[in-house]
Amino acid sequence: MISTQNIRFSYGKGTNFSFPDIVAQAGETLLITGGSGKGKTTLLHLLGGLLRPQQGQVTIGGTDIETLSDKKLDHFRGQHIGIVLQQAYFVAALSVLDNVILASWLGNGKKATDKATELLTQLGLADHLHKLPSQLSIGQQQRVSIARALVNSPQLLLADEPTSSLDDENAFIVADMLSGLAKQYGTALVIVTHDQRLKDRFTNQIAL
């Protein structure tokens, strides 16, 4: 579902990254680990088309995203890539449900109310649909982020440090949720993290 070849990126003199080739099929989870400054978040942004590599190829579902114009890449991302960022960036004035519905509307021009409700319910948030994000715990907010990233049934789900701010119990709950949902929806899942707790959770790993 996603593969890369010879990805290189530079922020300028002295900050150069050369990344190993990666492959993740539908329903699979790939854990990418590494210490601070190793380029984990940079790689995630490259995989999601938020940055373009100076060299190399990123292929998602048979599409080489480097061949797409900026406009087409934005459209492709909205339809085929879900991203769970460290900071949720919710619309504070909208309810939990409306934040997820908004993602569906921005992605494909349709309001997937039923799908949003289904995902939030599956993630244990049925009683919080009409609350504001600020009224939720950090762990609950992370689940809303997951629902928002999955509402358009993406081919690729990217998660940037999804457990770094969670205690052990919630970290493992979120990790298992992400992996289980990836299998359920046939989505390739790439988790970028420095969280050592996840190393025993996933066998498919790459260290930067």
Q: What are the pLDDT digits (tens) for 66-117? A: 999 999 999 999 889 999 988 888 999 999 999 999 999 988 888 999 999 9
Q: Is a pLDDT exceeding 90 seen at residue 27?
A: yes
Among all chains, which residue has been given the structure tokens 């790689």?
A: 43
**Res 58: pLDDT:** 96
Q: Is a pLDDT exceeding 90 seen at residue 15?
A: no
- Decide: 177 and 185 in contact? Cβ < 8 Å: no
- Decide: 185 and 1 in contact? Cβ < 8 Å: no
Tokens describing residue 173:
């709950």
Q: Which domains does the chain have, with CATH numbers?
A: 2-207 (3.40.50.300)
CA 86 and chain centroid, separation:
10
What does the pLDDT look like over 29-57, one tens digit per residue? 999 998 888 899 899 999 999 999 999 99
What's the whole-model pTM score?
A: 0.89
Task: Tell me if residue 147 falls in helix, strand or coil.
Answer: helix
Among all chains, which residue has been given the structure tokens 């979120």?
A: 174
- Separation CA 51–CA 72 (nearest Å): 14
Which spans in the chain are helix H? 40-47, 70-80, 96-108, 113-122, 138-150, 168-185
**Res 108: pLDDT:** 82
- 140-157: average pLDDT: 92
Q: Using CA atoms in the order 193, 198, 202, 204, what is the torsion angle rounded to 10 degrees?
A: 30
Tokens describing residue 32:
């990418």
**Res 68: pLDDT:** 94
Q: Is a pLDDT exceeding 90 seen at residue 12?
A: no
- 179-190: average pLDDT: 92
Task: Tell me if residue 129 falls in helix, strand or coil.
Answer: coil
What does the pLDDT look like over 111-143, one tens digit per residue? 999 999 999 999 999 999 999 999 999 889 989
**Res 171: pLDDT:** 86
**Res 111: pLDDT:** 92
**Res 121: pLDDT:** 95
Task: Tell me if residue 103 falls in helix, strand or coil.
Answer: helix
CA distances from 61 to 25, 78, 79, 170, 180 (A): 9, 14, 12, 31, 20
List of residues 6+ apart from 169 with CB closer than 8 A: none
- Separation CA 125–CA 71 (nearest Å): 34
- 55-64: average pLDDT: 94
